[in-house]
Every structure is written in structure tokens, then in C-alpha cells.
Amino acid sequence: MASERAAFQSKQFGPLQGVRIISSGTIIAQPFAAAMAAEMGAEVIQIERPGVGDIWRDLEFPIAKDPGTDGGSNGSVAAGWVQDRRNTHHITLDLSKLEGKELFLRLVADADIWMEASIPGAYAGWGLDDETVFKANPKLVISHVSGYGQDGDPDYLRRASYDFIGQAFGGMMHLTGFEEPEPPVRAAPWIGDRITSLFCLWSSLAGYINAQRTGEGQVIDLSQFEAVHHILAGTTVAYYELGLERGRSGNKAGLFQPYDVFQASDGWVIVAAVGTVFDRVCGVLGLDTTEWANARTDVDSVEGVEFDAILRGWVEEHTVTQVVEIMNAAQVASCRIMTPKDVAEDPHYKARNVHIEWDDVNLGRKVKGNGITPKFSKTPGEIWRGSVPLGHDNETIYNGLLGLDPQEVTRLQDMGVI
């Protein structure tokens, strides 16, 4: 069992305590999956290229100069990196070199999961095909994350993919935004990547559970476009069964109302009523429920359009706070569209301790951001360390875990292997 191995992580906690994950992807989709596991106690070793690092280090909202690395395009520490790379152990390793391959196989030999993100065939080209890796650890779960999958139409497999591409090819962007002639709109921030992260993590853990039961590892083939496509509810069934090509409809639900964004006197607010909750909205507006019953589901009828206009007029005469308070008092779902400032000052966010402080090694000070989600009653996750410079944990892993002597580490550094 993984829990019986000697731990190298100084802090032991959480439901994934004892699970060891090797992560070798870049940017968001796959590494964020590993980082979420690290927040729940898993020992995560993140591999980066020597002297280069992950471009996510300084890509999103640079905060300060990184004092400990030449990695990234300008050597800065970005807000996205500070938030997304907590608790993970970062080493440098060039997998394209023979010595790098050998060190990698030693790492996976005592790991539970290996997650990676690349164009299919990249690792096989370095002599790290699945068969070779399984020889080092037959119980390993290998999670391959790619834009288009490990097999399929050969014209697609070697195509590059990013969040934007995954949303478009997966069918999400066809549904997000307003009707023609307005263009399709991407869901931000990096939602296609984040969806893929969640699929990567749950499937890797499912494979891990099976490996613990059977003693056999397996390969997971996760394509970004399929992860995005999988969450589109009944869109596909509606096409095959009804010939319906669902398109963009803005914020409106289309099948019932009210379910939209409305402009109040001082900002934007959501009012959402499903089913008989429509009657409560009528009560707020002083309308006879029976007279307006048809407006609930026939939103394009004369009554439906008129009801929408009456509600919009009412909302415009009130502040966002007034709309939210009045609607919720009537048990109608309503909330303001929260800005970062709204979120930071909101009493419910504070009461649930959604935002926490932690020590960031890169910045050399405390930072504040998102805490742990979800909350476990008996084995809660925690943040024991923030993001670190490139190669920060080389000594811990190469000297401590793999037992290399300092002279060997220096030789490998001089060769550009680590």
C-alpha cells in the first residue's frame, strides 16, 4: 500500500496522505490536477525543464520578480502561479537525455500516479513509452492528457491545443455568448483547462483505487475536448434525437423565465426562478399569477415579452442590494454579479473562510487567495507551503528521496540533466 512507504513530505495530512504523484505537464490543465491533489495531502513531484521552467510561472498577472529562478519569459512570479502551485515539490529534469530518463524511471518506480500533458508520441520518442514505464512500476496509473487524445483521426492527434481550442472543438463556445451576429465567447478564466483538470484528478484517483484493489496499473487517455464536451448536458442527445442544434442564447434560459441578468439602478443582478417560483416573482411585482401563467414558459409570447419588460422596469427602479434582499425574502433566487472586490468584502465568504493566507516561498512573504475546496470533516486539506522557485526541491528529491550523492547531483547539473 502507498501509505506504507517512507514519506519525504515534511507535512502529513489530508485524505490523500501517502499518495505519490509525478506530474510532468505544463501550464494549467494537468499540473492543476496534481496541485489539487497536493492540497489534499498527496506528495506531488512536479517536473520542469532545467533553466526554462513552466511558462505559467509568470504568464498571468505578474506580481514580483522571482529571486530564485531564470525560468519563465521574464523571471517574475505571477498571481496564477502563486494560487495554483501550492504544496507541490518542484524539481528540474530533462527527460530527453538518457540520464534524465533513468532518473524519471526511478521516480515513477515508487509512485502511484504519473500525470503528463503532451502531444501523443512525445514520451515514446524519449524512450518513455507506457510499456517501458510499466516495467519500472506495474502498479502505476498513467494519465495522459492531450488536446485530441492518444488515438483517433491522425490529422488531429498532433495538433496543438489550448484552453481556447478545447472550448471551441469541444462544442462549448457554440453555446456561450449571445445570438448572431455576436461572436461566440470563451468561458473565463481558462475554464476548458480547469474542466480537464477535474477530469484528470478524479479519473487518476479512480485508477489508483482500482490499482490498490487489483495490484495492476493502467493507462488513462484524457482529451481536453472530450472533457469539455462531456459537460454539455443534453446538447448531444437533443441533436441525435430531435435534430436540434442548440445555439447561443445569451444569459436567458429560453425555456422558462425569469432566468437572466438584469440591470439595476447601480449595477447588474441575477434573478432566477424555476417552476412555481415564478408565482413568487409575480407576488413581488404585484401581478396576478393566473393572468400571467403563460408567460412563465412561453417566453416569446406577447405575455412573456411583456412580463420580461415589467420585471426589467421594476429592477431598474431598485439598487442591486434592494433587488437581492427583496427577491430572497420572497424565496426567489437572486444575487449580485460579484466582482473581486465584492467577493473580498462579502460576509458569507468571510464566514466560510474561503480566502486564507499562506507563506509563499517565491515572494518571501504571506499572500492571500483561495483556500481549500471542499471542506473535509475529519481529514481536511491545508496549505503548508506556497509556490517555490525553479528546482527548489532538487536536493529533497535527488539527494533525500533517490539517494544521489552531492557530487553526482553537481555532475548532472553541469550536464543540464537537472
Q: Is 193 annotated as catalytic?
A: yes
Is the Cβ–Cβ distance between 164 and 192 less than 8 Å? yes
Determine how many CB atoms are found less than 10 A away from the CB of residue 33: 31
Is the Cβ–Cβ distance between 145 and 34 less than 8 Å? no
SS3 65: strand
- Residue 211 sits at the vertex; the CA angle it makes with 210 and 215, to the nearest 5 degrees, is 125
Which residue, chain included where needed, has cell 544521489? 404
Cross-strand pairs, 145: 117, 222
Name every residue whose Cβ is closer than 8 Å to that of residue 251 and which is 6 or more positions away in sequence.
259, 260, 261
Cα–Cα distances (Å) from 71 to 60, 197, 287, 362, in that order, read: 15, 23, 63, 12
CA–CA separation, 68 and 267 (whole Å): 44
Is the Cβ–Cβ distance between 141 and 204 less than 8 Å? yes
Please tell me which residue in 54, 58, 84, 193 is annotated as part of the active site: 193
Name every residue whose Cβ is closer than 8 Å to that of residue 171 and which is 6 or more positions away in sequence.
228, 229, 232, 235
Cα–Cα distances (Å) from 290 to 47, 276, 314, 326, in that order, read: 64, 12, 20, 22
> What does the block give as the cell for 243?
435534430
Nearest to 109 by CA among 401, 391, 404, 399: 401
- Residue 207 sits at the vertex; the CA angle it makes with 233 and 379, to the nearest 5 degrees, is 90
Burial code (b: 16+ CB inside 10 Å, e: under 16) for 153-176 equals: eeeebeeebbbebbbbbbbbbbbb
Distance of CA 277 to the CA centre of its chain: 33
DSSP characters over 258-318: SEEEEEETTEEEEEE--TTHHHHHHHHHT--TTTTGGGGT-TTSHHHHHHHHHHHHHHHTS
Q: Which residues form the catalytic set?
A: 193
